[in-house]
Amino acid sequence: MLALSGGRILDMFLEVKGLSKEFPVEFSLLGKPKRFLKALVDVSFSVKRREIFSIVGESGSGKSTIARVICGIYSPSRGQVLFKDSPLNNDRLREIQMVFQDPDASLDPRKKVKFLIEEGLRIHRIGEKLERNTKVREILSSVGLAEEVLHKYPHELSGGQKQRVAIARSIVLEPQLLILDEPTSALDVSVQAQILNLLLELQQKNDLTYIFITHDLKLVTHLSDNVMVMYLGHVMEMGPAADVIENPIHPYTKALLNSVPEPGVKKITEAISGEMPSPIDPPPGCPFVTRCPVAFDKCRSKPELCEVENRVVRCHLYK
Amino acid sequence: MSALLSVENLSVEFSLPEGNLRAPDGVSFTIDSKEFVGIVGESGSGKSVTALAIMGLIPNPPGKIVNGKILFNGRDIVRSKNHPRGREISMVFQNPLNSLNPNLKIGRQLTETLEEHYDLKKNEAHSRVVETMRKLGIPDPETMMNRYPFEYSGGMRQRTMIAMAMLCSPKLLIADEPTTALDVTIQAQILHLFQQLREDSETAVMFITHDLSVVSQIADKVVVMYAGKIAEISPTEQIFSTPFHPYTVGLLNSIPGKKNQKKRTLEAIPGNVPSLIDPPSGCRFHPRCEKRMDICTRKHPPIFNVDGSMVSCWLYQEVGF
């Protein structure tokens, strides 16, 4: 296991070891899978308690697949997920909850807010009816919603309010790890800041650990302690967020950062040309070789992850 | 010199079961020829409806242009029979998959545009399409023309839409959130493409987005809309150096990850975007505004001229006159 930063490893809260996930896409006549989509290839990382760990990458990089494996929605093809030093099982999945990108898709349109927030408690048979009611009200106020919202349907709420309900649903079971899959990208700019502030406040108050999945590097700089950059199912660069963003090493991280428009700065950079190849038919060698501006001979073989200063990088330039 | 496009006091009303709503509501702005104008606003601000009104594509019912004029080259196009849509004004939408016909090859969809508007022979249309596609960075156009939209990637589809819009060399290109559905690296490519377009062609661009940092890269002028009204119109540099309207200030403050940002908590704008069926009295931003005064709750501010910007806020009443 490659350590993120020497000496700082205290208690490993979540450890992902050599995780791979493949989806069969083509079957032979006898129903045996012939071709695979490689969504994750040998992904390892660890998250400390009370950390905000960000995963960034473009669509198709495998970041949401990781979230789903950790939540137990998908089972891994290879590798394992250790949560507080032991493998996950159904009883302990309660301690890991997820907030999805689009609250319109994750909230049942036919149920009122009270039912939606209480649902988890009911399923896990926690408390009597009265206790559950108090709990729901408590959670509601902690996500900044007024009580009258309880008897409304999702369609009567604004986008920001809906996302608050989704967050309330996920924290009502008092999880320790919250996986946030692009929680603000469906929201308006002025509301996005409110939701981020709420998430930070909840993290402080409830000692939560976050895995924050996003394609927005501006959010990473703002929020996270550590960041992992993914491309085509591979970890490309991982390390302390401030360092990675200030001084990226991997050509892909550099390109990604150069692509982000900065407010008030007039410059157009076409950082990299081309598009991400298909994960069904990935290029041999380095996954980034088809778009890399500094690719050379060696890149036809796949680079291993190596430690550079305080981070890990997958690139032949660093050995 | 008169403007290429001049929108004057435009109001579009929608009759919905829940009530009537107006967005845009009394909006005026101009676009000069070759100018690049960014329209920024959140959902429900009326920015897309303004674009559809210019295109003459407001769905009626429920929508109707109830007030105002849209002058294109000095001619009112709201009530004219011969709308310049297609040949002189063209539009690119957010989701190219919704705009492309899934059953036709890309090449056919592009040549169709030319055959519709010009009296061109098939091979002439073909070579012009190839040329435009090449200009827009679509590799190997001859082969790509024989493919269907589903075989294209997201970035290529958006390039195709831009190619289609540019085929007739329009005077005005309206782009409605053309990069919102794309990944950052692809967004950078498309923005670069727009930059090239403005250098190589005579086309003016109206670029609609919810992301201020996107327009800062390419626009000459930024129009900020809020709840159906214009909040501020400023030259691009000015809007980032000295934003005037409290809403613009709030928007800029709520962008995360700015350099030299120490605190983790962001300065968010409190509250939500109001419902336009029952909009707030007076200035529509007043329930969320930190600097609200008495007059803000009673009367909607007119546009004041401040240092080359046009601002709809009572704070600038004295400065403006």
Reported as a single tens digit per residue, the pLDDT across B56-106 is 999 888 889 999 999 999 889 988 888 888 889 999 998 888 899 999 999
Give the best residue of B151, B153, B217 to mutate against chain A (max A CB count within 10 A): B217
Contact A158 B272 (CB under 8 A): yes
Residue type, A210: Y
Contact residues for A63 (Cβ-Cβ < 8 A; gap 6+): A55, A56, A57, A213, A230
Cβ(A104)–Cβ(A162) below 8 Å: yes
Contact B195 A273 (CB under 8 A): no
DSSP class of residue A77 equals: S
DSSP class of residue A190 equals: H
The tokens describing B288, both together, are: 């969320």
What's the mean pLDDT in B204-211? 93
How far apart are alpha carbons B314 and B292 in whole angstroms?
Answer: 9
Neighbour count for residue B283 (Cβ, 10 Å): 27
Contact A191 B273 (CB under 8 A): yes
Instruction: Give percent helix, percent strand, percent coil of chain B, each to the nearest 5.
Output: 35, 25, 40
Q: Which residues in chain A have Cβ-Cβ distances shorter than 8 Å to B155?
A: 275
Instruction: Express each pLDDT in B116-139 by its tens digit.
Output: 888 888 888 999 999 999 888 888
Cβ(B95)–Cβ(B178) below 8 Å: no
Contact residues for A169 (Cβ-Cβ < 8 A; gap 6+): A107, A116, A117, A119, A120
How far apart are alpha carbons B213 and B255 in whole angstroms?
Answer: 9
Q: What is the pLDDT of residue A15?
A: 93
Nearest CB to A256 within list B184, B266, B273: B184
Nearest-CA neighbor of B84 among B207, B176, B169?
Answer: B169
Please state whether beta strands B63-72 and B172-176 pair in parallel, antiparallel, or not at all (unpaired): unpaired
Does the pLDDT of residue B262 top 70, yes or no?
no
Nearest-CA neighbor of B218 among B262, B185, B253, B188?
Answer: B188
How far apart are alpha carbons A269 and B74 in whole angstroms?
Answer: 37
Q: What is the pLDDT of residue A5?
A: 44
Give the best residue of A59, A190, A200, A229 to mutate against chain B (max B CB count within 10 A): A190
Q: What is the pLDDT of residue B162?
A: 93
Does the pLDDT of residue B1 top 60, yes or no?
no
Nearest CB to A264 within list B43, B191, B216: B216
What number of residues does chain B have? Answer: 321
Cβ(B92)–Cβ(B209) below 8 Å: no
How far apart are alpha carbons A304 and B147 in whole angstroms?
Answer: 37
C-alpha separations of B124 from B109, B128, B170, B201 in Å: 15, 6, 19, 21
Contact residues for B179 (Cβ-Cβ < 8 A; gap 6+): B158, B186, B187, B190, B191, B209, B214
The tokens describing A285, both together, are: 């060698």
Q: Which residues in chain A have Cβ-Cβ distances shorter than 8 Å to B185?
A: 58, 255-256, 259, 271-272
Q: What is the pLDDT of residue A9?
A: 47
What percentage of chain B has pLDDT greater than the value 90?
51
The tokens describing B224, both together, are: 């900020």
Going B74 to B80 to B84 to B86, the CA torsion angle's sign is: positive
How far apart are alpha carbons A233 and A23 in whole angstroms?
Answer: 12
How far apart are alpha carbons B169 and B92 in whole angstroms?
Answer: 14
Contact B273 A190 (CB under 8 A): yes
Contact A192 B211 (CB under 8 A): no
Q: What is the ipTM of this complex?
A: 0.81
Tens of each residue's pLDDT in chain A, 319 residues: 444 444 444 568 999 999 999 999 888 888 888 889 999 999 999 999 999 999 999 888 999 899 999 988 899 999 999 998 888 887 788 899 999 988 999 999 999 999 999 999 999 888 899 999 999 999 999 999 999 999 999 998 888 899 999 999 999 999 999 999 999 888 888 888 899 999 999 999 999 999 999 988 878 888 899 999 999 999 999 999 989 988 999 999 999 888 888 777 776 666 688 888 888 888 889 999 999 999 999 999 999 999 988 899 999 998 7
CA B76-B82-B88 angle, 5° bins: 80
Nearest CB to B255 within list A259, A263, A265: A263
DSSP class of residue A9 equals: -
CA A295-A297-A302 angle, 5° bins: 80
CA B244-B247-B251 angle, 5° bins: 105
Q: Which of residues 248-307 of A touch B (CB under 8 A)?
A: 255-256, 258-273, 275-276
Does the pLDDT of residue B259 top 50, yes or no?
yes
- Residue of chain A whose Cα is closest to the Cα of B44: A188
Nearest-CA neighbor of A154 among A100, A111, A190, A212?
Answer: A111
Contact B155 A266 (CB under 8 A): no
Nearest CB to A259 within list B187, B253, B265: B187
Q: Which element (helix H / strand E) includes B69?
A: strand B63-72
Going A191 to A192 to A196 to A197, the CA torsion angle's sign is: negative
Q: What pTM value is reported for the model?
A: 0.86
The tokens describing A208, both together, are: 């939560």
Q: What is the pLDDT of residue A3?
A: 45
Q: What is the pLDDT of residue B321?
A: 46
Contact A273 B189 (CB under 8 A): yes
- Residue of chain A whose Cα is closest to the Cα of B274: A158
Contact B213 A188 (CB under 8 A): no
Compute the nearest-CA separation of A44 from chain B (Å): 25
The tokens describing A284, both together, are: 């041999």
Contact A262 B211 (CB under 8 A): no
How far apart are alpha carbons A230 and A55 in whole angstroms?
Answer: 7
Q: What is the pLDDT of residue A4?
A: 47
Contact B273 A158 (CB under 8 A): yes
C-alpha separations of A75 from A61, B16, B183 in Å: 18, 47, 27
- Residue of chain A whose Cα is closest to the Cα of B187: A259
Contact B256 A58 (CB under 8 A): no
Contact B254 A193 (CB under 8 A): yes
Give the best residue of B182, B184, B224, B249 to mutate against chain A (max A CB count within 10 A): B184
Nearest-CA neighbor of A274 among A214, A231, A228?
Answer: A231
Instruction: Express each pLDDT in B8-49 by its tens digit.
Output: 999 999 998 888 898 899 999 999 999 999 999 988 889 999
Q: Which residues in chain A have Cβ-Cβ distances shorter than 8 Å to B267?
A: 193
Contact residues for B81 (Cβ-Cβ < 8 A; gap 6+): none
Q: Say which CATH superfamily domain A12-314 falls into.
A: P-loop containing nucleotide triphosphate hydrolases (3.40.50.300)
Contact B272 A265 (CB under 8 A): no
Q: Say which CATH superfamily domain B5-88+168-235 falls into.
A: P-loop containing nucleotide triphosphate hydrolases (3.40.50.300)
The tokens describing B68, both together, are: 């105002």
DSSP class of residue B85 equals: B
- Residue of chain B whose Cα is closest to the Cα of A57: B183
Contact B257 A189 (CB under 8 A): no
Q: Which of residues 175-194 of A touch B (CB under 8 A)?
A: 188-194
Q: Which residues in chain A have Cβ-Cβ distances shorter than 8 Å to B258?
A: 218, 263
Nearest CB to A256 within list B185, B210, B255: B185
